[in-house]
Amino acid sequence: MNRDIAKSRQRRRIAAGVLTMTAFLAVFVTPFIFILFQAVKDRRAANRLEFSWPESWHFWENLVAVIEARNYIVLLAFFNSTIITVASVTLLVIFAAMVGYVLSRRRTRFNGIVMALVLAGLMIPPAVVPTIWVLQGLGLFKTIHGFVLIQVAYGLSFSILLFRAFIATIPRELDEAAIIDGAKPLQVFFKVVLPLLKPVVVTNIVVQSVTIFNDFVNALYYMPGRENVTVQLTLFNFQSQFSSQYNLLFMNILLITIPPLLVFIFFNRQIVAGMTAGAIKG
Amino acid sequence: MSGLSLHGVTKSFGAVDVIKGVDLVVEKGEFCVFVGPSGCGKSTLLRMIAGLEDITTGEIVIGGRDVTWADPSERGIAMVFQSYALYPHMTVRENIGFGLSLAKMPKDQITVKVAAAAELLQLTPLLDRKPKALSGGQRQRVAIGRTIVRDPEVFLLDEPLSNLDASLRAQMRMELTELHARIGATMVYVTHDQVEAMTMADKIVVLNAGRIEQVGRPMDLYREPATPFVAGFIGSPRMNLYANIKGVDTYGIRPEHLTLSLDAGEWGGKVRIVERLGADAFAHIDVNDLGTMVARIDGEADIQAGQQVWATPIPERVHLFQNGVRI
Amino acid sequence: MQQKRKRRSPYPTWFFLPAAIIYGTLFLVPNIASLWFSLTRWDLFTAEFIGLANFRQFFSEPFLVKSILNTIIYAVVTSGLKTVLGLLLAVLLVSPIIWRGALRTIVFFPVMVSTIGVGIAFTALMHPTRGAINVALENAFGIIGPGWLTDPSLALLSVAFVDIWKGVGLATVIYMAGVVSIPQDYYEASRIDGATKVQQFWRITLPLVWPATITVVTLSLISGLRYFELIWAMTGGGPGFASDVVASMIYKQYQAGFYGLATAGNVVLFILIALIVLPMTWWFNRREVEA
């Protein structure tokens, strides 16, 4: 009888899994398959917007056409987006870690105010036009430097919360041992604490990279104009240019999906850990 | 009629046998204690009786019914978990009555039963508190209250005292024994602490590596341990056990059954250390060829570390084991 | 008399400085300035004080009022469904079904993908005549599907659907962490009491994932109230103004050069978020449960 019960339980597990997988494939995966199909069809087939197997595969043609479009703007966009992402994330991680470190270790009257300001960053929407006004005043409007600083400013709240929560789990005694050994504050931070923060640093890098790479609304406001396009802006603008070339439009979507896909494949666990840790502790 | 009986109960994970053919009868109203070192399978066995773990082969009978394949809720059991598993979002009243409200019992009936259990366990003034506002001992009583309202055939308790500090443990031991006397229920109690086993049990089941080493009344296990394992496990401090002397595989003598003399005796050696506990003291003696021998002496006796002494066993109290069993 | 020696703390306050400068200049200052500029007619160079005229306009012009209503509807719908579906999916994905790992990956992947890309793809799928959704509906069930994005009464909800599609994975992941942290003892004790799976969900799981619920609802509500990207990518606020929300309204005013009005929109959005989220957070914290 034992085998019967075990078998029926096993059957239920399989049935539930199969049902869920079917539903998930239908709901979550088919749109991506649609994107793929559209990206490899020829122009007329793609414009029909059918969800159908491609009659002919034009992967390379479409790829080349997209890259060459408007003077290789896609390449420029990828270049810009990469620089922006790398620069922003680097600054973000260091600055947020410094704040999270002091916030977590030191108990001053300031802590309450600082925390309130950090939480405000999660809640309050940025005031876009005044920000443009400030950027213009500083000569940073429509520049990559300015945009990088914007991304840092907007990403600080989440990163600080993440670091603060994680640093709280590193025993203070480690700092104290280093201080007794004569380390100065910067040395304690960079040589003792930061190395131990590796998991949360990786998580933060991954999460923020994807967020900044996929950001659209900020690029729209703060970096109009051709010189400093990002990949998201380019895609959006292609909607009008490729209004009757859906295959090329979708090939662009495919291209833009690849970096996050790669990140996802390699860093899946870190992303999930980061999202949940930051969210629940926040 | 027995409260609980196990016939040839085995549990295996693939090729590994975790519980190896257990046969046991627990009489109605008995307080039976499963005792043994960590990993011996006592908690697993308890959970198998509860229905939380599957059995590979064998039978479990409770109150005359075969419950081997029944759901936990249909076995006539109730269980106190080591962590108490008190729902933190419910009051004491709701915790105790939870099972009854799941079974859709009418509200006034639930109130009556909960009140009765609370009265029995002196929980009445605490009924509207939440678990986080209770002390360890109070939480344990709530966990017990939850089991009482189910009117089970058999109560199962999984190391309920191990989360309490030492002084509280002693007090709760007595409360549990009194409770058992008052409601006369069949109880199966799991612990790794042989003191709890000795003081609380009507019947002790000593388990080792998934097998029953011995079943019996506490004093029976003390006087006539069936195997060297039981001999070394029951009794505090531990029995002195030596291999391959006097023509037997294992020779045992308890510290309290050795007499010490400064002049002559069976074994001689130098006292390494004397542990003084007040009324008693224990001398740890280095005996040539044997190793350490622990002997109990009177607390006021003038025996010092470094002294040469002689120890003699009381002949009727010597334990001899051959091939793993008592002879 | 005591000798006071000033000890330099290993946690110096100047560590706050780089972050503080950037955050202060590019986030705090603009937000504070917005309070002033929302009361002006502004072209980025000169600002002319006009009192509450911008706000009066916001609450009187029908399309502006509608954008506020749309924002609330959008936020409530996306947040509500993300929360409910997220919890149900989480419970499903922590139970012992096969392919659990792959399923978790699949549900989370949309979270990572470009929003514009998703918007364009779904706009194509939702095309009233050629879109795959309506084609499938007609072929399989003989139903003529509506204009998902062209029907004014449906446009906003269609975008909300895509938002939920993209974002439910995040809610699921957060909930999974919460469900997994509930000690097994509670479920075992309830099994002995004869609880069914449904009873276990309502009386153990749901109350004990409360912290995760607070997080998911708060985060998704704030994000929903501020949302811009999908709406702009899929409908541009249309047809007409049918799917405009405050965020898209702000952009339209900005594009038209009405900077003061756009900034007033920001202030309205801020007040809207504060009015909804602050009381909610306060109420949540009162009902907090320690596990």
Q: Among residues B302, B285, B305, which one has the least CA distance to residue B294?
A: B285
C-alpha C193/C-alpha B146 separation (Å) is 9
Phi, psi of A25 (to 5 degrees): -60, -45
Distance (Å) from the C-alpha of residue A249 to the closest C-alpha of chain C? 9
> Does residue C290 carry a pLDDT above 50?
no
Would you state the pLDDT for residue A2? Answer: 62
Contacts with A5 from chain B: Cβ below 8 Å:
54, 69
Number of folded domains that form chain A: 2
3-class secondary structure per residue, chain B: CEEEEEEEEEEEECCEEEEEEEEEEEECCCEEEEECCCCCCHHHHHHHHHCCCCCCEEEEEECCEECCCCCHHHCCEEEECCCCCCCCCCCHHHHHHHHHHHCCCCHHHHHHHHHHHHHHCCCHHHCCCCHHHCCHHHHHHHHHHHHHCCCCCEEEEECCCCCCCHHHHHHHHHHHHHHHHHHCCEEEEEECCHHHHHHHCCEEEEEECCEEEEEECHHHHHHCCCCHHHHHHCCCCCCEEEEEECCEEEEEECHHHEEEECCCCCEEEEEEEEEECCCEEEEEEEECCCEEEEEEEECCCCCCCCCEEEEEECHHHCEEEECCEEC
Q: Which amino acid is at A119?
A: L
> Is B66 touching A (CB cutoff 8 A)?
no
Distance (Å) from the C-alpha of residue B54 to the closest C-alpha of chain A? 8
Tokens encoding A256: 């833009």
Verify that A144 and A222 share a domain, yes or no. yes
Verify that A34 and A86 share a domain, yes or no. no
Domain C61-290 has CATH 3.40.50.2000: no
Residue A64 covered by a domain: no
> Is C203 touching B (CB cutoff 8 A)?
yes
Q: How many CB pairs under 8 A join A and B?
A: 10
Residue A112 covered by a domain: yes
Question: Which residues are within 8 A (CB) of A187 and not within 5 positions of it... i.e. 6 or more apart?
Answer: A178
The CATH 1.10.3720.10 portion of chain C extends over: 61-290
Question: Which residues are within 8 A (CB) of A145 and not within 5 positions of it... i.e. 6 or more apart?
Answer: none
Parent domain of A23: 2-40
Question: Of C92, C165, C266, which has the smallest distance from its Cβ to A127's Cβ?
Answer: C266
Distance (Å) from the C-alpha of residue C116 to the closest C-alpha of chain A? 7
- For residue B133, the chain C residue with the least C-alpha distance is C290
The CA radius of gyration of chain A, in Å to the nearest whole number, is 24
Tokens encoding C135: 């084609």
Question: Of B56, B57, B69, which has the smallest distance from its Cβ to A5's Cβ?
Answer: B69
pLDDT tens, residue by residue, C217-248? 999 999 999 999 999 999 988 788 888 999 99
Tokens encoding C15: 């560590």
C-alpha C38/C-alpha C98 separation (Å) is 56
Would you state the pLDDT for residue A277? Answer: 60
Verify that A103 and A23 share a domain, yes or no. no
Q: Among residues B214, B249, B247, B251, which one has the least CA distance to residue B233?
A: B214
Q: Among residues A282, A159, A133, which one has the least CA distance to residue C18?
A: A159
> Is B74 touching A (CB cutoff 8 A)?
no
Given a contact cutoff of 8 angstroms between Cβ atoms, the answer to whether C156 and C78 are in contact is no
- Tell me which H or E stretch contains A264: helix A246-281
Verify that A152 and A262 share a domain, yes or no. yes
Q: Among residues C191, C188, C187, which one has the least CA distance to residue C179?
A: C187
> Does residue C286 carry a pLDDT above 90?
no
State whether C190 and B72 contact (CB < 8 Å). no
What value does the mean pLDDT take over residues C7-14?
Answer: 74
> Which bin fits A55, alpha (ψ -120 to 50), beta or left (φ > 0)?
alpha
Higher pLDDT, A131 or A227: A131
> Is B52 touching A (CB cutoff 8 A)?
no
pLDDT tens, residue by residue, C112-158? 899 999 999 999 999 888 888 888 888 888 888 888 888 888 899 99
Tokens encoding B101: 């409200």
Would you state the pLDDT for residue A281? Answer: 47
The CA radius of gyration of chain C, in Å to the nearest whole number, is 24
Residue A57 covered by a domain: no
Q: How wide is the angle at C-alpha A219 spanned by C-alphas A89 and A37, nearest 5°?
A: 95
What value does the mean pLDDT take over residues A262-281?
Answer: 69
Across the strands, what pairs with B281? Answer: B276, B297
Would you state the pLDDT for residue A220? Answer: 92
Question: Which residue ranges in chain B fall short of pLDDT 50?
Answer: none
Residues 161 through 200 of chain C touching chain B, CB cutoff 8 Å: 183, 185-186, 188-195, 199
Tokens encoding C108: 């989370």
C-alpha A102/C-alpha A108 separation (Å) is 10
C-alpha A160/C-alpha A175 separation (Å) is 19
B258-261, strands of its sheet edge to edge: B258-261, B308-313, B267-276, B280-287, B291-298
The CATH number linked to A141 is 1.10.3720.10
Q: What is the band of C194 on the pLDDT scale with cuts at 50, 70, 90?
A: confident
> Is A1 touching B (CB cutoff 8 A)?
yes
pLDDT tens, residue by residue, A15-66? 888 989 999 999 999 999 999 999 998 888 888 888 888 888 888 988 998 9
Residue A226 covered by a domain: yes
| Greatest extent of chain A over all pairs of C-alpha atoms, in Å | 80
What ranges make up the beta strands (E) of chain A? none
Q: Which amino acid is at C246?
A: V
Question: Which subunits have 3 or more CB–CB pairs within 8 Å of chain C?
Answer: A, B
Task: Provide the 10 A C-beta neighbour count for residue B171.
Answer: 12
Question: Which residues are within 8 A (CB) of A282 and not within 5 positions of it... i.e. 6 or more apart?
Answer: A119, A122, A158, A161, A165, C215
Would you state the pLDDT for residue A152? Answer: 95
pLDDT tens, residue by residue, A85-101? 999 999 999 999 999 98
Q: Chain-wide mean pLDDT for chain A? A: 87
Question: Of C30, C96, C114, which has the smallest distance from its Cβ to A130's Cβ?
Answer: C30
Q: Among residues B49, B258, B251, which one has the least CA distance to residue B155?
A: B49
Would you state the pLDDT for residue C291? Answer: 38
Verify that A6 and A93 share a domain, yes or no. no
State whether C192 and B132 contact (CB < 8 Å). no
C-alpha B270/C-alpha B272 separation (Å) is 6
Phi, psi of A51 (to 5 degrees): -90, 85
C-alpha B207/C-alpha B229 separation (Å) is 10
Q: What is the band of C6 on the pLDDT scale with cuts at 50, 70, 90?
A: low
Question: Of A110, A183, A257, which has the smallest distance from its Cβ to C117's Cβ?
Answer: A257
Q: How wide is the angle at C-alpha A23 spanned by C-alphas A22 and A25, nearest 5°?
A: 65
Question: Which residues are within 8 A (CB) of C277 and not within 5 positions of it... i.e. 6 or more apart?
Answer: A123, C218, C221, C222, C225
Question: Of A124, A185, A188, which has the smallest distance from its Cβ to C270's Cβ?
Answer: A124
Inter-axis angle of helices A144-167 and A246-281, to 10 degrees?
40
Question: Of A99, A123, A260, which has the smallest distance from its Cβ to C15's Cβ?
Answer: A99
State whether C106 and A179 contact (CB < 8 Å). no
C-alpha A219/C-alpha A229 separation (Å) is 8
State whether B55 and A6 contact (CB < 8 Å). no
Given a contact cutoff of 8 angstroms between Cβ atoms, the answer to whether B127 and B94 are in contact is no
Best residue of C188, C192, C199, C286 to probe chain B, by most B CBs closer than 10 Å:
C192
- For residue C187, the chain B residue with the least C-alpha distance is B85
- For residue B150, the chain C residue with the least C-alpha distance is C193
Given a contact cutoff of 8 angstroms between Cβ atoms, the answer to whether B114 and B93 are in contact is yes
ipTM of the complex: 0.85
State whether B73 and C192 contact (CB < 8 Å). yes
Q: Among residues B203, B257, B210, B245, which one has the least CA distance to residue B229?
A: B210
Would you state the pLDDT for residue A282? Answer: 39
Contacts with B56 from chain A: Cβ below 8 Å:
2
Across the strands, what pairs with B298? Answer: B280
Question: Of B72, B89, B99, which has the smallest distance from its Cβ to C207's Cβ?
Answer: B89
Would you state the pLDDT for residue A1? Answer: 55
